[in-house]
Amino acid sequence: TEVANELGLNASQLRYWEKEFTPLNPRTNARGKRFYTAADKELIQQIAWLVKDQGYT
């Protein structure tokens, strides 16, 4: 996805986080395309920091 590339993640990792972190809930259209808000992107960055930099799992 564009957001995954923009944030240096892979799409499968992003989808996994959507399942694990309830607040991360992007809107989807009828075809399943995800739309992330600025708040979603900020949350993704925070999760990435915790997982990658701080070692949380």
Query: In the 8-state DSSP scheme, what is residue 51?
Result: I
| Residue type at position 54 | Q
| Residue type at position 21 | F
We report the CATH number of the domain holding residue 11 as: 1.10.1660.10
| C-alpha dihedral, 22 to 11 to 32 to 16, nearest 10° | -30
Dist CA 7 CA 10 (whole Å): 9
Residue ranges making up the domain that contains 17: 2-53
CA distances from 17 to 34, 36, 57 (A): 14, 13, 11
- What confidence tens digit (pLDDT) does each residue in 2-55 have? 999 999 999 999 999 999 999 999 999 999 999 999 999 999 999 999 998 888
Give the chain's domain count. Answer: 1
Q: How confident is the model at residue 57 (pLDDT cuts 50, 70, 90)?
A: confident
